[in-house]
Structure 1
Amino acid sequence: MATSDQLLVVIDPVARHSDGESVRIAKDVLSAGAAAKVCLPDGPEEFARALDRRGSRRPVVVGDDRALLRAVTQLHRRRELGTTSLSFVPVGAVLTLARSLGVPTGAVAAARAVLDGAVRRLDLLVDDSDGVVLGDLRIPSVPAAPPGYDGAPVGEEAAQGRPWLRMRQSLVRTLAPRPPRPAFPPARPSRLRVEVDGLMLVDLDQPVAGVSVVPGDPGVAEVQVRPVSVGAEAAPLNAVGRRVTVSGADFRYRADSVVGGPVRTRTWVVREAAWGLTLPG
């Protein structure tokens, strides 16, 4: 084996409930090849405690992308990523990150990679609130609602204070077939300032359809801004750097599978070779 043959196998509860057969297979393969202590946490707090009490055992996470992200986040906040490598057996419906990292998605192949693979040091994107990104970071356009739409069904405002009218509307909705939902207009562009290593890529006067930050060469990230233009389609703006700052009106962002925000400004910094993951040799 590449590292310690003492394993702590932490099985995420979502994996147990969604695909118990794959969990059983992974557990059997790992237990046959190493001294494995199996932990079955019921929630995020027990999951974190299991990692904190691992001792000298090498942690193996069995779960989906969110379970891996939870484990890396916990070790990062305890400042233990530099001394602890992770192994991962993907089980669940959300495995996009696992595939992008090169982890086998079959239970047997992934468990064997844990036993026979080697640790590879990977970059980590860390923001100024101590959040982490293992794969892609995306800032989409701002969702728009129809003019005058406040979230209430049509006619509901008129019924306020008139119980008889509300009762009639309720009866009509019950008896009549439900009409199709009105189509919402497309998302409106965002106005954001994007800076890469202190150099401005786009400013607030240029509306954008989206921003993406993905891993690039070791130590840097690739940044792409998709501007909105009138007439001909505008070419994307691209840059490469270690530090990315986005600011403007309140915006949300998707870091791996987690939605963050809204925030007015956020800075992400690439930390080279910040964490270790066992991958097939």
Structure 2
Amino acid sequence: MATFATSDQLLVIIDPAARQRDGESVRIAKDVLSAGATAKVCLPQGPEEFARALGRRGSRRPVVVGDDRALVRAVTLLHRQRELAGCALSVVPVGVTALAESLGVPAGPVAAARAVLEGAERRLDLLVDDSDGVVLSALGIPPAPARAAAVEPVGVPTGRPWLRTRYRSLVRTLAPRPTRLTTVPAPGPSRLRVEVDGETVVDLDQPVEAVTVAPGGRGAATVEVRPLSGPGAEATPLLAEGRRVTVTGADFRYRADAVVSGPVRRREWTVREGAWGLTLPLPG
């Protein structure tokens, strides 16, 4: 991990949704950051101004104050500008922040702002799809099964708490929320071909209830496929790991982090090892 000095110059980008949702947390975060470092504060009014501010950061270390969508937006912009490798991103979560917290960012504006000032950069794997989209934590197909909020996927290897945390985050993310995106009706079983590094895990002749994919560390993705179970039966999940995951099927949707995408008939995700840096608290 690369540690930071409080003398670093910060570019604090406050997402407009965060200002509307919880102005008090935004104020606290801004005060803590400004007291501990030289901070330039930007108040973009929309996505275009957000992108412009991030692109003009110069030597300043960017800090996003906002929810999971703001974090994904920042990583996506830096990826598409091919600037992820040289940029350590920091975030103070405000709003819906299950993704940020699953990655190790502290909850609460004071703890998160102190981590920005006193923490260290950790390089994390990234899933990049064939349309140049990114996945920070996990993706799920179909996007919003109604019972996902109460069930943790089985088959997660023991002794790997960080992976269990990511899967629990995925379950929370898949749970329906009162937003426009979650008006997508819960689909029935899907017929999908899932391939990992060219090897077929499940083919179109086997209906599946769900597929989850997450960066598993060490440059590999962890894949879980749940075949359709019969009445009163519990299907054994199919598990695989690999660098490249390809899903093919008839007009399927998927939720990647906080966003539902599709329908598509084919999508391929490739793991980029250590592709992006996030400031996290020092161990211990």
Alignment match, 2:110: 108
Shift in Å, 1:218:
1.9
1:25 match: 28
**Shift, 1:278, TM fit:** 0.5
Give the whole-Å Cα distance in 1 for the aligned partners of 2:196 and 2:190.
18
Counterpart residue identity of residue 248, structure 2:
S
Q: CA deviation at 1:141?
A: 7.4
1:11 to 8, 11, 14: 14
Task: Using the TM superposition, give the Cα deviation of residue 234 of structure 1 relative to its aligned residue in structure 2, in angstroms.
Answer: 1.7
Deviates most, 123-132 or 212-221 = 212-221
Shift of 1:105: 1.1
Q: Decide whether the 8 Å contact of 1:141 with 1:208 is kept in 2.
A: no
- The residue type equivalent to 1:137 in the other structure is L
Question: Which residue number corresponds to residue 126 of structure 1?
Answer: 128
Superposed displacement of residue 233, structure 1: 2.4
Alignment of 1:71-90 (within 5 A): 71-90=74-93
> What secondary structure, in the 3-state scheme, does the structure 2 residue paired with 1:216 have?
strand
Residue pair 1:141, 1:190 contacting (<8 A) in 2 also? no
Aligned mates of 1:243, 1:129 — CA distance in 2: 14
Length-normalised TM-score, structure 2: 0.81
> C-alpha distance in 2, partners of 1:260/1:240?
23
The 8 Å contact of residues 33 and 117 in structure 2, kept in 1 or not, is answered as yes
Tell whether the 8 Å contact from 2:217 to 2:273 is kept in structure 1 after alignment: no
Tell me the distance in 2 between the aligned counterparts of 1:48 and 1:115: 23
Unmatched runs of 5 consecutive residues or more in structure 2:
146-184
Task: Specify the SS of the correspondent of 1:51.
Answer: helix
Deviation sequence 1:201-257 (CA, Å, 0-9, x none): 000000000100022132111100100143532211110111000001010000001
Number of the residue aligned with 2:161: none
TM-score, normalization by structure 1: 0.82
Q: Give the Cα separation in 2 of the matches to 1:111 and 1:65.
A: 16
Letter in 2 for 1:252: R
Which position in structure 2 is the counterpart of 1:211?
Answer: 211
Tell me the SS of whatever aligns to 2:26.
Answer: helix
- List aligned pairs for 1:153-232, cutoff 5 A: 187-231=187-231, 232=233
Give the conservation status (yes or no) of the 8 Å contact 2:125–2:217.
Answer: no
- What RMSD in Å do the two structures reach over aligned CA positions? 1.6
Q: What does residue 51 of structure 2 align with?
A: 48
Q: Can you list the C-alpha shifts for 1:75-132, whole angstroms capped at 9, x where unaligned?
A: 000000001110110011x111011100011100100100000000000000000000
2:41 pairs with 1:38: yes
- 1:188: how far off? 1.9
Match of 2:246 in 1: 245
**CA deviations over 1:36-87 (Å, ceiling 9, x no partner):** 0000000000000000011110000000010000000000000000011101
Gaps of 5+ in 1: 144-184
Give the partner amino acid of 1:95. Answer: T
Aligned to 1:260: 261
Q: How does 1:63-74 map to 2 (within 5 A)?
A: 63-74=66-77
Shift of 1:267: 0.2
Which residue type is aligned with residue 105 of structure 2? Answer: V
Given that 1:141 and 1:189 are in contact with CA atoms closer than 8 Å, whether structure 2 keeps it comes out as no
Given that 1:142 and 1:190 are in contact with CA atoms closer than 8 Å, whether structure 2 keeps it comes out as no
The AA in structure 2 aligned to 1:111 is A
Identity of aligned residues (%): 75
Give the 3 Å change call, closer, same or farther, for CA 52–188 of structure 1 in structure 2. Answer: same
1:142/1:251 contact within 8 Å kept: no
Deviations along 1:112-170, whole A, 9 cap, x unmatched? 10000000000000000000000110001799xxxxxxxxxxxxxxxxxxxxxxxxxxx
Distance 2:188 2:39 in 1: 52
Q: Which amino acid aligns with 1:115?
A: L
